Structure 1
């Protein structure tokens, strides 16, 4: 027994010794590990597995911290010291156990006043407007014009965070004096592309995309976002609308890299309608209409990205053929309650410099030369013509010479805009409330557009979850001028006088008598302004956007978005019986047209994103799902018979005209898509990416519901190659190429279906008859565009010279066109996928910092684009369209759809000019012979309206708080048909006023050469090369001067930031074409005075 006890004691002592030796061996074990911004909770678990120690900690105590770096051949104690670092944690090694606990600190003393300066690492210049925030408190400030800041009563153990858009955030422990150097954040400023669903590093992005900050846009203009983007990006083009000029109620038509769709109708009257070439607009992750963007407050915008090629747009699949514009609005900033105010006073002055109309005496002389008063030889007829002439001569001799162009115009259109934003919160919860008012008064009396809006943004962060919700409400009211179309005033003869002897506006200005055609009354276009009329469009727009982000892991994120929108739009046009439209109507005078459209939609998406780096490898994966539904319910009717102008309600009218009834349409479209994207790079030198999307849409035939769209691209960062390190002036030189297919679906929802129309006149007993309205096509499928892009991004001399160049080829196939049908089927045509077009061209942007020191910075920039359009394949319907147009004998050139030609080709009959002997035009037929007869058979593709190059250029100068920004638009190398010249010189009604060239430049004397045919020739001038002119153009988009006040001065008023600016937009135009523009609504110069204030 004693022997057994002794053996047991010896065994126990030996076991204890072995434990001690084992623990010593574990303690002396060498550890090698690598951490990449890894949370401590995860890092401790890995260390536990590698070291053999049991590491004990409370998850909430350590999970907020991360560790980054590498340890090699370290002991457990050395590794723990590296991981804990300066974090408020401590560790204790107890045998094979390690305890991690918070480090308790004694309460720190308060720093009464903290002062400092924030400057840029790159140039040493002060960072103006940087946010300075004390973590965990509501204490904060902004740096002033000199980069200085001041904080009061800051806890002594606090961390102070410094942040600024485009720069890396800096966190430092508080001290009485803090001088901070911030450097540009390549990841957020230059190296991120926002796609709407996710962000990608531009350093390894193969697509063609451009980014612009809200500050860059504000330096150009604050009028409307669309014109501002067009002024800064060469690919984003506003299609010229020389008729509507500066009308605040005309939403512009947009193209990105040209035309990718053909017209969806072959009706001559519908030739210029439809918007199938509009880009897709994404606002805060959700698709919106172009009108929504037009009415958006520019001060809400934080960033805009324009996606152009397949790699950039493929994830939008069927909506991407015409490019995608991503708009992000500002998120509320954390910190104490802050009030931001933006106010503007705007002035508009009509630009009539292109109008050169005849004065009263000259107009009467022109009428005489036009032989308006030459009779047939019959005594009675000749006397009537002489009486008519003398009647007008008497008016001229009385001194009547009315400036009709000035009558409907304001001497100065005055508008004002206001925007107020309240924001605040902390890192866990942020809030923002905004109120906006924009009252725009056009240059024509009575025309205006009023926008009122409000919104609430909330953001809540809980651990690795982020919730955001934004509710917005906008009300827009647009009133058209009661003075009518501006062209009516341009037609008025100057010897007409608008007022009677009592100073009241006349309703009838003049009665024109012709022995051959009888009497014709000339109404006063000003008269309707005295009546109670309506011409108003209004809409209410309610939107709720919700999103949630979940950081599943450090490099794995799940994001969900959902949006609801409802728009109620109404149109009211009221004209009482006394309106001049009814001057010759005998019964049911007066009308009220009322229309209403209710649109509702939802848009949802779910996106899973992963980004990982493994030594020299980087991998980005994104996958998602998207669903949309949009429904529209439209109705309109016209009631006639309103004898009293005060009875301005539809219920007070006499009723429908015979055969008239309520008209309407109800549509619904649905879309669902799945998409994925992968991007891989090696050593930030070589990179590839690929995207795919499958879309299903209700727009297309039952046999072709789904379409697949894809892209792939490769790139090479030459500046990261070893052999380029010696080339010191090269900071960036990237080559990229991409190709892929995108789609288009901007069409009527039910064109693939057999459609029927109810007709009340076919009613029988209790049933209403129907007729087939359109022939369906169950095989109708997606339009597809193959986009190929070759691009270069460059930056030299510390990026003082930077820019990009893209060459692109876009082949659109399966375009929707009309195909003719045999007449006995009862239809003229049906829709089919037959058309093909090609756009080929380039765009570029170059920026240069020409001079820079502590006080001065001078930047120069120029951008441009050029593209050619070619029709590769057309249908029988479009060929028939050409024939119908030829037969109609139009006096205007129209788009001819000819394979191998461009839709922008100008088709005319060649002209040899005006015969000096006779004053008649001489044409050149296709066989080269001269003829005096115009024939549509002699049409030739004479010139292209596409310019050789168009874009913008300008400079920016900064000096001690002053900013001078300029932006000019140029265009050259293209041609245009001067239609307004034709209509005002040759194709004129001599009873209306005309351009002065109709008198002074038309042929009058045999043997004397002239540009225009003889005055007495009143035959219609059809498309001729005489009116094709070079279209070289230069205009001043914007010139602005701004000043940011010093913070120490404005603090006396309790403010933190104050900036004032004066801006001039569209104040200068120079063109090689002399023609009237703004024919229905005049162009205008725009001037504004603005102020931005933060409390």
Structure 2
């Protein structure tokens, strides 16, 4: 036996030596051809074998290969695959080029992923890298102009304020118009989550740097699988997952400043200008401005007093600072991504600011070869400091800063804030910001956990269960320092909770080589509850400013509760024949507690098909065509975005004959149902010459069963009922293009852009031909016209003979009598086109990117000008500089009406076209210059990478609106709003 053992040992030794003689070790480094930076996680394999490895964080690799191995294959997502002949080499360094744009990109879609060659629906994507460096607090602000057909309108420039997003137009009057947001597969709460906070945007809880990609589902084929919530499109957000390899860290720091946007030399009058304006108005009224006995006494001596530019007094340079650290890595069983972020933004108005802390942990763990589990948890804390905005309050600094007279002193002789401001109801917003305590806080948890099982290679079963909670508290304390009536306190506590379960089973296989099939069936359930408590306490103690010290008997309190549930069953079919012909179909049944007992269940569906023309044999000779795809789809989705209990008859308290009781206040409607949105889409995708990438889409979407209040006979005991009785139409065309002009080792230059045209038309309003919008007579909904139409008196200018305002009556005659003015319906706040374009230039370690957005064809109404360009009607207020261009002598044209002190002609009516202006603009949205240290310097510093950058946002806007900024909300009549701001930030990013 000893001889046999010795003999076997000799054979084993000889075999080992022979094996060693037949292999060799190859080492090398993988870098990017664009910036020479190392690329971790690159897959390196020996062609024709299962041998392989991945590059480390420094891009280095080492691989033992057979002596006769011929080719190494280098592959990485987003990069072109490289095949390198080994020969006699033992060191192989490779630089990877970026993948041809668009063709093979992975696109996140509803309940799965696809690629551009396989998609049948109209979708748009934005990568996390495209929004990471923008100085935005919430992700919705980062979508402006980046995707064709997606319009983002800011209601406020206040940090953390939410935006209105419209995908292919506006589809409803009374139901919501914002899209459904889905984060990591789970629909989430959106909008303002704190009634006490203008900056309570629920989406601000997401850290933009945590986002891997954003996909916008625009047509029915892409979105209808979300059923009753998909009528306004769907925004899918995918957060970052762990990367293969050892743990790596990234640390970021960002600092910046912001200031009020003003690119049209817009502003208020100086003291000299205002005094001249007022003296002329007094003379025009037949009075003497130097008569001390006259109520309009305006002596020149006013200019010798201390003067204040109140708009400057109300504003400051805002500050931005942000710090973040994240880590990602993996082992044999799992991978993870975690981050911690702190953002502090002080607004351009005193008393306005936002503090935000977010933390995220994403983890995936392979329990067995067939069983995987993981979770996504996002925690956030948001505290917003606020002042009264969004209205023409005396304490609104944006409005008061323009109206308070320049000779009104800012401080008393003792150096305290001046309260004797008669023209502003003795309110001083600068002091209000200092003494009053107004804030809102949100504590938010967004988390889900999944379990995925693959009992067979072709079958995947997955359950995902999620919870989202938002606990909010708010405080509005009016100090006795700012109110003669004493200190007053308002507090609120709110809570939102959403529980969701999503369960799917998927079969995916390739049959007979050419037939790819994917079938998915699923079930979802959601329960959403909300509650609040509100307390009002006047007369609280300044020493103990809490409810308990309020005036006994005057304290008021109320609370509320709401709940809604949704149960869904759905299915999808994807079929692909030979990568040429694709078919997708989906169906979903939703049952909702929001609707009437007779109509709680609805069925929604879609069907889409596409043809990869470039894969046909007759295209073989056209080598410049890399992708040519024709798409078509049709589907039905719904809109359930209404408040709870609208289908129920409700009661309200009422007093009768000295007794308080309950009476019916709203009738029930057991047939109340969701609005339906049917749409078709025809699209063409193409990639030419490897560098020109684009798509064109034509669509039409029709809303039926639109929810409206219909007048009912008073004999029913009610004046109206909420019914499904309206319809409207949206139609448009979209174009998106990207072109890589240069793509060399040292220089890469690409450009891109998109434009979309959309037109709405109201088809039916029940028994009405015209209804008012939100009880505002200036905007109407009119059958046969756009969704929003201004209804304004027709102002035609100034009579050059006497300086009086002129109006056109219904017969077309011109008159200086405002009471004879007729209405015009020729203008709308809806843009006819929207879009954006960008350019990116990379040279060695430097990168310069610029992004522009534009909008046009819409009009905005500047209501504030009723007071700020008043023609003498508001003699106790400052005026805009543009009001200096007024009629002075016969023959003057292109001017404002002559100012007359106490003007009662209604020449300054805010219900006229006088203050209506074109809202077109082109905005330089973002310009970013960055530098990545070369790999040689990085290696010397013994870090993974270092990047410096500076970014400017909203740095210039080309527009003709006589205001700080052209955006006025989706209805075009926003007033007293926090104007848009400009910002410049600089940052540093370290990886190790």
| Structure 2 counterpart of 1:1073 | 961
Matches within 5 A, 1:951-1030: 951-986=835-870, 989-998=874-883, 1000-1016=884-900, 1017-1020=903-906, 1021-1022=908-909, 1023-1030=911-918
Q: 1:543 aligns with which of 446, 452, 471?
A: 446
Shift in CA distance, 1058/811, structure 1 to aligned 2, threshold 3 Å: same
SS in 2 for 1:942: coil
Q: Secondary structure at the match of 1:956?
A: strand
After superposing the two structures, state which structure 1 stretch, 1008-1017 or 981-990, moved more: 981-990
Change in Cα spacing, 1:909 to 1:155, as seen in structure 2 (3 Å) is same
Give the drift of 1:161.
Answer: 10
Report how far residue 857 of structure 1 moved. Answer: 1.0
Is the CA contact (8 Å cut-off) linking 1:590 and 1:640 kept in structure 2?
yes
Matched, 1:620 2:518: yes
1:210 alignment counterpart: 124
What is the distance in 2 between the residues matched to 1:254 and 1:663? 33
2:528 is aligned, of 630, 636, 652, to 630
- 2:314 is paired with a residue whose SS is coil
Query: Which consecutive residues of structure 2, in runs of 5 or more, have no partner in the other structure?
Result: 1-14, 191-200, 389-394, 966-974
Match of 2:217 in 1: 307
| Match of residue 794 from structure 2 | 910
Shift, 1:717, TM fit:
1.3
State the match for 1:495 in structure 2.
407
Question: What do the CA deviations read for 1:905-960 (whole angstroms, capped 9, x no partner)?
Answer: 33333343221223223322232233333469832322343444321112111111
How far apart in 1 are the matches of 2:844 and 2:117? 33
Shift in Å, 1:663: 2.4
Q: 1:427 to 1:155 in 2, by over 3 A?
A: farther
Residues 555 and 611 in structure 1, CA contact (< 8 A), matched pair in contact too: yes
1:388–1:362 CA distance, 2 compared to 1 (3 A): same
Partner of 2:946: 1058
Aligned to 1:786: 678
Partner-residue secondary structure (3-state), 1:651: helix
Aligned residue number for residue 332 of structure 1 = 242
* Structure 1 stretch displaced more, 430-439 or 568-577: 430-439
Partner Cα distance (1:108, 1:593) in 2: 81
Is 2:429 aligned against 1:528? no
- Aligned counterpart, 2:384: 478
The yes-or-no answer on 1:389 pairing with 2:297 is: yes
Segment of structure 1 superposing worse, 481-490 or 806-815: 481-490
Once the two structures are superposed, the pairs formed by residues 482-881 of structure 1 within 5 Å of their partners are 484-509=396-421, 511=422, 522-531=426-435, 533-579=436-482, 582-583=483-484, 585=485, 589-613=486-510, 614-642=512-540, 644-655=541-552, 657=554, 661-757=556-652, 769-798=661-690, 800-876=691-767, 879=770, 881=772
What's the counterpart of residue 228 of structure 1? Answer: 142
* 1:213–1:124 CA distance, 2 compared to 1 (3 A): closer
Once the two structures are superposed, residues 609-653 of structure 1 have per-residue CA deviations (whole angstroms, 9 ceiling, x without a partner) of 2222232222221211111110001221211003x4332212222
Structure 1 residue 1038: Cα displacement: 0.5
1:68 corresponding residue in structure 2:
none
Aligned to 2:391: none
State the shift of 1:496 in Å: 1.0
Among 183, 191, 195, the residue aligned to 1:283: 183
Q: Give the stretch that moved more between structures: 814-823 or 306-315.
A: 814-823
Shift of 1:150: 3.0
Q: Residues 1063, 178 of structure 1: CA spacing in aligned structure 2 closer, same or farther, 3 A cutoff?
A: same
- What is the rounded CA distance, in whole Å, between the counterparts of 1:253 and 1:1036 in structure 2? 20
Q: 1:345–1:327: structure 2 CA closer, same or farther, 3 Å change rule?
A: same
User: TM-score, with normalisation over the residues of structure 1?
Assistant: 0.79
Deviation readout 1:648-698 (Å, 9 max, x if unpaired): 2122221453xx732232111100111111122222222222111110000
Per the alignment, do residues 622 and 182 of structure 1 end up closer, same or farther by CA in structure 2, a change over 3 Å counting? Answer: farther
SS of residue in 1 equivalent to 2:825: strand
Cα shift at 1:455? 2.6
Residues 127 and 693 from structure 1, CA distance in 2 versus in 1: closer, same or farther, beyond 3 angstroms? farther
Instruction: Identify if the C-alpha distance between structure 1 residues 530 and 441 changes in structure 2 by more than 3 Å, giving closer, same or farther.
Output: closer
Trace 1:259-270 onto structure 2 (pairs within 5 A). 259-263=170-174
Q: Work out whether residues 375 and 385 of structure 1, in 8 Å CA contact, stay in contact via their aligned partners in 2.
A: no
Q: Distance in 2 between matches of 1:635 and 1:762?
A: 31
Checking the alignment, whether the CA contact within 8 Å between 1:669 and 1:699 is kept in structure 2 is yes
Partner-residue secondary structure (3-state), 2:733 = strand
The structure that has the greater radius of gyration is 1
CA contact (8 A) 2:205 2:381 kept: no
Q: Deviations over 1:746-773 (max 9, x none)?
A: 1101101112235799998xxx843333
Asked if 1 retains the 8 angstrom alpha-carbon contact of 2:350 and 2:433, the reply is no
Cα offset, 1:250, TM superposition: 2.0
Note if contact 1:472-1:543 (Cα within 8 Å) is conserved in structure 2: yes
1:975-1024 C-alpha deviation (Å, 9 max, x unpaired): 334444454213752210001232x3222324433532221134333433
Change in 2 beyond 3 A, CA 1:1047/1:366: same
How many angstroms does 1:168 deviate by?
7.7
Residues in 1 aligned to 2:120 and 2:203: alpha-carbon distance in whole angstroms: 28
Shift of 1:791: 0.6
More displaced, 875-884 or 472-481?
875-884
Question: Which one is further off, 129-138 or 199-208?
Answer: 129-138
Summarize the alignment of residues 59-208 of structure 1 with structure 2, pairs less than 5 Å apart.
115-118=27-30, 128-132=38-42, 142=56, 149-150=59-60, 164-167=76-79, 177-180=91-94, 190-208=104-122
Checking the alignment, whether the CA contact within 8 Å between 1:546 and 1:563 is kept in structure 2 is yes
1:322 aligns with 2:232: yes
Shift of the alpha carbon at 1:153? Answer: 11
Q: Which residue of 2 aligns with 1:253?
A: 164
Higher relative contact order (CA 8 A, sep 6+): 2
Deviation of the 1:895 alpha carbon: 1.9
Question: In structure 1, what is the equivalent of residue 153 of structure 2?
Answer: 239
Q: Kindly indicate whether the alpha-carbon contact (under 8 Å) linking 1:942 and 1:1025 is maintained by their aligned counterparts in 2.
A: no
Q: Secondary structure at the match of 1:232?
A: coil
Cα distance between partner residues in 2 of 1:466 and 1:1033 = 50
| 1:436 counterpart = 2:324 | no
What SS does structure 2 have at the residue aligned with 1:1049?
Answer: helix
Within a 5 Å distance, the mapping from 1:917-928 to structure 2 comes to 917-928=801-812
Which piece of structure 1 moves more, 486-495 or 914-923? Answer: 914-923
Gaps of 5+ in 1: 1-102, 265-275, 513-519, 887-893
Tell me if the contact between 1:1002 and 1:1014 (Cα under 8 Å) persists in the aligned partners.
yes
Partner residue in 2 for 1:1092: 989
Aligned to 1:356: 267
Partner of residue 782, structure 2: 898
- Does structure 2 conserve the Cα–Cα contact (< 8 Å) formed by 1:303 and 1:329? yes
1-side partners of 2:740 and 2:319: how far apart?
37
Distance 1:105 1:173 in 2: 26
- Give the Cα separation in 2 of the matches to 1:953 and 1:840: 23
